[in-house]
Amino acid sequence: MTIQLPPSAAPRSAYPVTALPAELRRLLRYLAKAGPPVSAYVYDGAVAAERARELRAALPDWAAVYYAVKANSFPGVVAALAPHVDGFEVASKAELELALRARPTGGDPPAVVAAGPAKSVPVLTALVRGRVEAINAESLLELHRISRIAVTEGVTARVALRVNPAAIPVTGSLHMGGVPSQFGVAEPDVPGVLRAARRLPGLDLVGFHVHAASGNLDADAHADYLRWCVEWSTRTAREHGVDLRHIDIGGGIGVAFEGEKPFDVARFGELAAQVEPPAGTKVVLEPGRFLVADCGWYAAEVTDVKTSYGKHFVVLRGGINHFQLPTSWDIVHNMAVLPIERWPTGCPRPAVENAEVTVVGELCTPEDTLLRDVRVDRVRAGDLVVFPYAGSYGWEFAMHRFLGHPVAERHLL
């Protein structure tokens, strides 16, 4: 069987080196001189902060932007976002601790909501003790566990019921709803779960969590999705006696790659303003990838350039053990070549010019392929290959332990 992941980039060409910010190029060239072969992520916190400010400014006052920490948990990025978001969404004790440490200087602890389909008792205990704004409960059993922990701790835990809706009657790149899933409570089971939840001590049922959108670049469709979530939550709360104060619509705003039209934040905000949640109800958006995708770059040194049966391979000091996204998501994730002139005297320096190359990593598997059939002007052993839009689901999403190679470094511009 021939593995063909990720898809072919042909007839695309690599980005020009000028697509990389000058400050990034300077830092990478400095790292290339410093010693070991480069394999690193570089982040610009100011880029993430600007994305957050743009989205927050476009939305009405009843909407709140909570950064989904899973997208990029580098402390410098989280700290850069902290002054410009309304809170954080976390899915583990480690993410909770990171979010709570990210308060602006002299500020109050940030608001936190928690998600995840398999929260353990230690995780739930940490969330209850942390007095988070809402625990998005995934099942009736999880509600019972939260109740027991809250009673033992002598507190009341705020919970929102995560719902897997039967159907979402809007267009666009929406999914994760209406199909069998480990996420949330299936809509037909919601009335029974709500009846049981109201009988449990130690719980304050504040609303609902619906996360059925992913990678959506259509602002009109996403506004329709927001409206549907608000209307469904309002109607369901009224029918079942829930004091609705919290509606969490998840993330789902897409990131435009080459040839795609970016998400229109201004248009989304304009349409969102036409929605009218009940008075006193907060509507939470949990963007992750949208806020941080373009704040990061993954760079790796070319350890070799090889030609095999007429096909050119660029071999990196790195791969899916550092940057798994292109292969696991089956996408074309383009790159740029940063020339590095330093090279040992007397050592041959293989190169390819004006040709299509396939970029592969250092692992002993053909699946370790980051980019196929992209045309380059020139690439040599010792140069750096740099992938933009690597600020989300990069370092966190990689196979760090496979083969035991060193983990990619992380730097903040």
Are residue 275 and residue 321 in the same domain, yes or no?
no
Pick the last residue of a domain from 232, 259, 292.
Answer: 292
In terms of domains, do 66 and 81 share one?
A: yes
The residue with greater pLDDT, 4 or 261, is 261
Note down the domain range covering 218.
Answer: 45-292
Task: Report pLDDT digits (tens) over 28-62.
Answer: 999 999 778 999 999 999 999 999 999 999 999 99
Can you name the residues that pair with 186 across neighbouring β-strands? 164
**Please, which pLDDT band fits residue 402 given cuts at 50, 70 and 90?**
confident
Domain boundary among 271, 292, 313: 292
Express each pLDDT in 306-315 by its tens digit: 999 999 999 9
pLDDT one-digit tens code per residue, 258-293 = 888 999 999 999 999 999 999 999 999 999 999 999
Task: Answer yes or no: do 199 and 340 share one domain.
Answer: no
Arithmetic mean of pLDDT over the chain: 93
Q: What is the DSSP string of 253-307?
A: B----TTPPPP-HHHHHHHHTT--PPTT-EEEE--SHHHHGGGEEEEEEEEEEEE
- Confidence class for position 104, pLDDT limits 50, 70, 90: low
Number of domains in the chain: 2
| Residue 10 counted as domain residue | no
**Same-domain status, 97 and 152:** yes
If asked whether residues 299 and 247 sit together in one domain, one would say: no
Tokens of 184: 């949330």
Please tell me the pTM assigned to this model.
Answer: 0.94
Q: Which of 172, 181, 171 is nearest to 210 (CA)?
A: 181
In a shared domain, residues 26 and 57 = no
Same domain, 274 and 168: yes
Exactly one of 229, 295, 347, 364 is catalytic; name it: 364
What average pLDDT score do residues 402-409 get? 88
Q: Does 295 qualify as catalytic in the annotation?
A: no
Quote the percentage of the chain above a pLDDT of 90: 82
Q: Do residue 381 and residue 233 come from a single domain?
A: no
Shared-domain flag, residues 154 and 302: no
Is residue 5 included in any domain, yes or no?
Answer: no
Cα dihedral 340→312→345→20 (10° resolution): 0
In this predicted structure, the answer to whether residue 322 has a pLDDT above a threshold of 80 is yes
Asked whether residue 180 carries a pLDDT value surpassing 90, the answer given is: no
**In this structure, what CATH number is given to the domain that contains residue 94?**
3.20.20.10
* Mean pLDDT confidence for 164-169: 85
Residue 49 sits in the same domain as residue 36: no
| Domain finish residue from 292, 318, 339 | 292
Give a yes or no: residue 11 inside a domain: no
Q: Do residues 168 and 123 share a domain?
A: yes
Residue 42 per-residue DSSP state: E
Confidence band, pLDDT 50/70/90 cuts, at residue 171:
low
- Are 52 and 413 spatial neighbours (Cβ–Cβ below 8 Å)? no
| Cα separation, 369 vs 315, whole angstroms | 9
288 lies in the same domain as 237: yes
